């Protein structure tokens, strides 16, 4: 009796488990060498020839053409980590892969998958408690936030800038959007522009939009600007139906042209009389209207998309007006300054010091597209982790110190776990060692020797990590060197990696149908 179609393929039992675990481990291994301040970069080339150079785990996994469903789960781990806390994607993926490796060894010892899952969840609970114990007691002030930003960016592409210089910009941006309701992370955007050294990267108290003035004779800078946003076309009205007009004389033609000119001049006069200094429209502006407004000293930008119109409205407090007759100062927004700049072939408008004053932009410069793209990813991650640290108020030691402490706590608690589940709890602790071991390998050290030394230092000193400073590598207290991470990054990595590994380990039947 046939239940499945002839084209279906089925893999069962140990073969299915091995296939899934192998796929998950392979994906995790692909990003392992990017971990830490000495991590290497990956060059990703698409079928169209597009090149991405990065060591950001989420970007690498997202760009890889992965088909295996179990391997795709590891990609989802990185995506979840990126969406929730903004950093630690490589840590989460590598940890998930090593949890699968430990699970495979236990399966070879005839430990049931359900027992492994139960043990892993028990170990994860202990690990989360251990993270709570590692939280540094000092206040998360600007100095600590800068350390969080620097730790996030160390080893990533920062162009010619130091992580310290970028950290100043990142913390300033996050502090600007920190309010009574917490950090409004969405109000910080990153805008990139190729054509200058990365040293020209700066924070703009406002927004940056890709637009150019509607007329060349319009002012390029307007101080103390009243702003309006129109959803109206400023051009000659046209009918909704096709119509023909018969003109029998030159006088009739001139009359029609004069009427058209009068209509357009009326639009321009209405705008000018309203007192607005800068006009943004989501529709088109006739060249003659733009010329009239240029003579009046009004700066106009037309054909904005809805996204940019919303950004400008949010930043300046301007209301969007749907009829020209409704144009009034009560609907205006305000900005301290609006200026236009040309960068190569690009025209940008900077809206600074808006009345709403809720939006800031990190304006990123770089010499090449690859540098700018990597710098954008780096700053984006730093903004996320600083926001996370500020919201939670909790940071933990970096440089592998927290993983050493967690593994030590899990091992000590494993002795109290009954039955074969104890093996899974111990395996979980062994899997955590992959983080300090990988950090050691990526700095050119012997992973086993470093792991032994880290454990010994943890026992004697209470806190020890593999700290990299320039060319030197030493086992020391990361807090003394300013190497810290948000506690939520560690928690999310443990939780997401555990969930993915246990889900994959429980699969014993794979059915593929055409």
Band (pLDDT 50/70/90 cuts) for residue 426 is very high
| Tokens representing residue 244 in the block | 């023909």
* 141: three-class secondary structure by DSSP: coil
User: What whole-number distance in Å separates Cα of residue 314 and Cα of residue 357?
Assistant: 9
**Which pLDDT score, from 0 to 100, does residue 423 have?**
92
**SS3 call for 203:** strand
Residue 14 near residue 62, CB atoms below 8 Å: no
Tell me the H-state helices in 10-84.
13-32, 57-63, 69-84
Q: How many CB atoms lie within 10 A of CB 393?
A: 12
Residues carrying an active site annotation:
56, 89-90, 381
Taking the model in full, what pTM does it have? Answer: 0.79
CA distances from residue 337 to 188, 213, 323, 429 in whole angstroms, order as listed:
19, 15, 26, 56
The burial class, CB within 10 Å (0-12 / 13-18 / 19+), for 416 is: exposed
- Asked if 87 and 152 touch (Cβ cutoff 8 Å), the reply is yes
Q: What is the pLDDT of residues 366-395, one digit of tens each?
A: 778 888 888 888 888 888 888 888 888 888
Give the percent of the chain with pLDDT over 90: 7
User: 258-271: per-residue pLDDT in tens?
Assistant: 556 667 787 788 88
φ/ψ bin of 126: left (φ > 0), alpha (ψ from -120 to 50), beta (otherwise): alpha
Q: Which residue has the higher pLDDT, 454 or 356?
A: 454
> What is the b/e burial string over 34-50, where b = at least 16 CB atoms within 10 angstroms of the residue's CB?
bbbbbbebbebeeeeee
Q: Is the Cβ–Cβ distance between 166 and 386 less than 8 Å? A: no
* Neighbour tally for 306: CB within 10 Å: 10
270-283: pLDDT as tens digits: 888 888 899 999 88
Whether the CA torsion 71, 75, 78, 79 is positive or negative: it is negative
Phi, psi (degrees; rounded to nearest 5) at 13: 60, -135
> Is residue 99 pLDDT above 60, yes or no?
yes
As given in the structure block, the two tokens for residue 327 are 């144009």
Going along the chain from its start, the domains and CATH numbers come out as 9-136+395-512 (1.10.560.10), 206-233+246-356 (3.50.7.10)
pLDDT band at 73 (very low <50, low <70, confident <90, very high): confident
> What residues contact 102, with CB distance under 8 A and at least 6 apart?
427, 428, 430, 431
Decide: 17 and 508 in contact? Cβ < 8 Å.
yes
For residues 215 and 340, give the distance between their C-alpha atoms in angstroms, rounded to a whole number: 12
């Amino acid at each position: 009796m046939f239940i499945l179609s002839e084209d279906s393929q089925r893999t069962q039992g140990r073969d299915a488990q091995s296939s899934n675990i192998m796929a998950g481990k392979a994906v995790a291994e692909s990003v392992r060498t990017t971990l830490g301040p000495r991590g290497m970069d990956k060059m990703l080339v698409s079928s169209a020839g597009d090149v991405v150079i990065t060591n950001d785990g989420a970007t690498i996994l997202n760009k890889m053409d992965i088909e295996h469903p179990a391997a795709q789960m590891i990609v989802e781990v990185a995506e979840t980590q990126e969406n929730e806390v903004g950093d630690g994607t490589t840590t989460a993926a590598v940890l998930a892969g090593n949890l699968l490796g430990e699970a495979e060894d236990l399966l070879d010892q005839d430990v049931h998958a359900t027992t492994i899952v139960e043990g892993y969840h028990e170990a994860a609970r202990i690990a989360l408690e251990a993270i709570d114990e590692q939280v540094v007691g000092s206040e998360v002030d600007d100095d600590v936030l800068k350390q969080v930003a620097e730790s996030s960016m160390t080893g990533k592409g920062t162009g010619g800038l130091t992580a310290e210089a970028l950290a100043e910009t990142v913390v300033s941006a996050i502090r600007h959007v920190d309010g009574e309701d917490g950090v409004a992370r969405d109000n910080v955007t990153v805008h990139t522009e190729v054509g200058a050294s990365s040293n020209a990267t700066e924070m703009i108290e406002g927004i940056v939009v890709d637009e150019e003035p509607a007329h060349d004779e319009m002012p390029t800078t307007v101080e103390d600007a009243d702003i309006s946003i129109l959803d109206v076309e400023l051009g000659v009205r046209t009918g909704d139906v096709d119509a023909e007009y018969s003109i029998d004389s030159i006088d009739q033609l001139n009359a029609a042209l004069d009427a058209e000119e009068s209509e357009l001049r009326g639009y321009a006069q209405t705008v000018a009389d309203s007192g607005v200094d800068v006009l943004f429209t989501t529709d088109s502006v006739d060249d003659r209207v733009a010329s009239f407004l240029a003579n009046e000293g009004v700066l106009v930008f037309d054909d904005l998309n809805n996204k940019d119109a919303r950004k400008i409205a949010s930043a300046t407090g301007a209301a969007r007006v749907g009829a020209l007759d409704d144009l009034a100062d009560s609907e205006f927004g305000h900005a301290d300054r609006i200026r236009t700049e040309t960068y190569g072939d690009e025209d940008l408008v900077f809206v600074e010091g808006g009345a709403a004053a809720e939006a800031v932009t990190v304006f990123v410069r770089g010499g090449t597209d690859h540098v700018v793209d990597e710098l954008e990813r780096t700053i984006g991650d730093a903004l996320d982790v600083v926001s996370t640290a500020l919201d939670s108020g909790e940071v933990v030691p970096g440089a592998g110190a927290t993983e050493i402490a967690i593994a030590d706590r899990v091992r000590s608690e494993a002795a109290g776990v009954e039955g074969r589940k104890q093996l899974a709890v111990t395996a979980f602790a062994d899997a955590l060692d992959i983080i300090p071991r990988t950090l050691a390998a990526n700095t050119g050290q012997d992973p086993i020797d470093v792991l032994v030394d880290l454990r010994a230092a943890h026992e004697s000193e209470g806190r020890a990590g593999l700290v990299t400073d320039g060319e030197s590598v030493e086992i020391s207290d990361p807090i003394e060197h300013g190497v810290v991470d948000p506690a939520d990054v560690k928690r999310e990595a443990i939780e997401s990696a555990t969930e993915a590994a246990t889900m994959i380990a429980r699969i014993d039947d794979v059915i593929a149908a055409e």
